[in-house]
Amino acid sequence: MASVRNLVIALGDQLSLGSSAFDGFDPSVDQIFMAEVHEESTHVWSSKMRIAVFLSAMRHFRVRLEERGWPIEYRALNHPENKGTLALELDDCIRRSNPSGLIMTTPGDWRVLSAIKAIAQSHRLPLDVRDDRHFFSTIRDFAAYAGSRRQLRMEFWYRSLRQRTGILMDGKSPAGGQWNFDTDNRKPFGSKGPPECRAPKHFEPDDLTLEVIALVKDRFPGHPGTLTSFGWPMTPEQAEDALNDFLDYRLSLFGPYEDAMWEGEPWLFHSRLSMAMNLKLLDPRHVITQVEKRYQSGQIGIESAEGFVRQILGWREYVRGIYWTQMPRYLELNALGAEHDLPHFFWTGKTTMNCLRECLTQSIEQGYAHHIQRLMVIGLFALLFGVRPSELHRWFLAVYVDAVEWVELPNTLGMSQYGDGGLLGSKPYIASGQYIKRMSNYCNGCRYDPATKTGERACPYTTMYWDFLIRHRQRLSMNPRMGMQIRNLDRLPEDEQKAITQAANQFRQKIKDTLEG
Ligand code: FAD
Ligand code: SF4
């Protein structure tokens, strides 16, 4: 039987030659294992776009490894003997290669780590799980930071990383004299709409991607979405092009319009780089260095530079720390006792609510929505409706091309649904339809009125916002950051509160009785 020294496992979101798993790799004695498996597209009902992105990026990485002459055991999805799960494929590969040990970089998913550990154990093989150097901090760093605190807040973790890395620092002080320019990051577009905004670079599918597109259409015909608009970067070179395109054409207005939305404009001034970073086609250090350079040369203002850096050095590192220090119990949390099923229209986009239809359709078709669309339109609806966080999590994990559990779960369950009861964020992100009206033009084309709480034209967001406050009044009134909203609720006469509760219940019932919303 062939024997290799180490079998190095490379997963679909670990597509970098600089990955720690390859440290010390010797092609004369070591081997790489990669597998495309059905389970990864079906354990949550993944969109066609998400499946195609992962498979195509993996196949491009395989070519790169082969060009280096590195031996690889690559099991394609359409291989006749494909066993359908990562664990079975790994088990099979170990039997064929008879390695003395397994090596991998920390994966992005607790479930995958557990499965690989179990296989290693069943073969009595040592498994070397190495730190992921792609991140600025290690899980141990975060655990040490979190261990000494009663409350976790992104802001303080972010400041500590700024100090440690020197990013956007003038000596010991933050560049621009403030740690945070959040208040300059909330401009709406106003009635004129967005300033001229160049769409992100589109990458025409090459032969490898076209092959994958055909495969996905054939193997996953009933999965959500289509592949007609596929234009994602699939290699490090394309990811670098996408980065430069963002730096040149959209970064300067990223800061002021970070939270704004506009009908028919899915990307606006966002980078669209999350997928490339999460699959490791693009190094976040490089991204941040380039952003800092633009700031230092005076091409962009501090509100865009800091606003953008905060997302990557702050939120991205913070949610990863939360994920790995809280799993697996985090998956089950449901602090608000939400008990409703996910409305069916989340999978079709068929709803009369204009904002939600826009954001859902775009998500299903493109595998993308920007942060405020995810948080303050889609997530907000689910939170106010009372959808079980675990169900919403499965939807978010299925739909987006950048969805990997370490980043998706804390954002969905923690930030968006308050399912962890305030571990990740200090209060639920709730608002009425008036917020959506202020930050977008969605309400202009909608049959509902965001200012109306009950009645024929009542905006479901507005009805359910007040209903949320009524339902959770006791809990929320203990949170000092909710004081103003609770005082506003208390100003509503009892009759009006009763009418709101009734209208919200009727709305939920209507959604349950019909497939559309
Ligand atoms: P930009 O707006 O250009 O931001 C720049 C980068 O900052 C992003 O590419 C991303 O890497 C990082 N970033 C921004 N916000 C966050 C955040 N809250 N957490 C972590 N990183 C952040 N992001 C994912 O990468 N994968 C997910 O599966 C995912 N699921 C989400 C689910 C919900 C409910 C919410 C509210 C947010 C989620 N996010 C997720 C965070 C964020 O919405 C996306 O990173 C962002 O929209 C990606 O688009 P972009 O690259 O254009 O980002
Ligand atoms: Fe959305 Fe309400 Fe505005 Fe309609 S009125 S777009 S449902 S916020």
Say if ligand 1 is within 6 A of residue 394 CB: no
Cα gap 379→101, rounded to integer Å = 43
> What is the chain's length?
517
Nearest residue by C-alpha to atom 7 in ligand 2: 353
Asked if residue 33 lies in contact with residue 9, where contact means CB atoms within 8 angstroms, the answer is yes
Say if ligand 1 is within 6 A of residue 288 CB: no
Ligand nearest to the CA of 287: 1
Global pTM value = 0.97
Say if ligand 1 is within 6 A of residue 403 CB: yes
Cα gap 275→57, rounded to integer Å = 10
Identity of the amino acid at 448:
Y
Bridge partners (DSSP) of residue 475 are none
What local confidence, expressed as pLDDT, does residue 471 receive? 98
Here the tokens at position 146 are 């979190």
Say if ligand 2 is within 6 A of residue 453 CB: no
Asked if residue 412 lies in contact with residue 393, where contact means CB atoms within 8 angstroms, the answer is yes
Q: How much distance in Å is there from the Cα of 354 to the middle of ligand 2?
A: 6
Nearest-atom index, ligand 2, CA of 354: 6
Q: What is the pLDDT of residues 186-235, one digit of tens each?
A: 899 999 999 999 999 999 999 999 999 999 999 999 999 999 999 999 99
Residue 100: C-alpha distances to residues 7, 20, 88, 226, 515 (Å): 8, 19, 19, 43, 54
Q: Which of 268, 245, 273 is nearest to 255 (CA)?
A: 268
Q: How much distance in Å is there from the Cα of 514 to the middle of ligand 1?
A: 32
Here the tokens at position 242 are 């996408």
What is the DSSP annotation of 172-217?
TEEGGG-S--GGGS-----TT-PPP-PPPPP----HHHHHHHHHHH
Mean pLDDT by 10 residues, the chain (517 residues): 88 98 98 97 97 98 98 96 97 97 97 98 98 96 88 92 97 95 89 93 98 98 96 98 98 95 96 98 98 96 95 98 97 97 96 98 97 98 98 98 98 97 94 98 96 97 98 96 96 98 97 81
Asked if residue 12 lies in contact with residue 40, where contact means CB atoms within 8 angstroms, the answer is yes
- Find the DSSP H helices in 48-147: 48-67, 86-97, 110-122, 139-147
Q: How much distance in Å is there from the Cα of 159 to the middle of ligand 2?
A: 36
Residue with tokens 């031996």: 71
Residue with tokens 């009372």: 386
> Long-range contacts made by residues 140-147, C-beta under 8 angstroms, separation at least 24?
141/321, 142/317, 142/318, 142/320, 142/321, 142/322, 142/324, 142/325, 143/321, 143/324, 143/325, 145/321, 146/321, 146/325
Q: How much distance in Å is there from the Cα of 395 to the middle of ligand 2?
A: 22
What is the DSSP annotation of 289-349?
HHHHHHHHTTSS-HHHHHHHHIIIIIIIHHHHHHHHHHTTGGGG--TT---BPPPGGGGT-
Nearest-atom index, ligand 2, CA of 459: 2
Q: How much distance in Å is there from the Cα of 461 to the middle of ligand 1?
A: 23
What is the DSSP annotation of 492-504?
S-HHHHHHHHHHH
What local confidence, expressed as pLDDT, does residue 208 receive? 98
Say if ligand 1 is within 6 A of residue 278 CB: yes
What local confidence, expressed as pLDDT, does residue 1 receive? 53
Give the list of residues 6+ apart from residue 423 with CB closer than 8 angstroms, or none.
152, 322, 326, 414
Nearest-atom index, ligand 2, CA of 434: 8
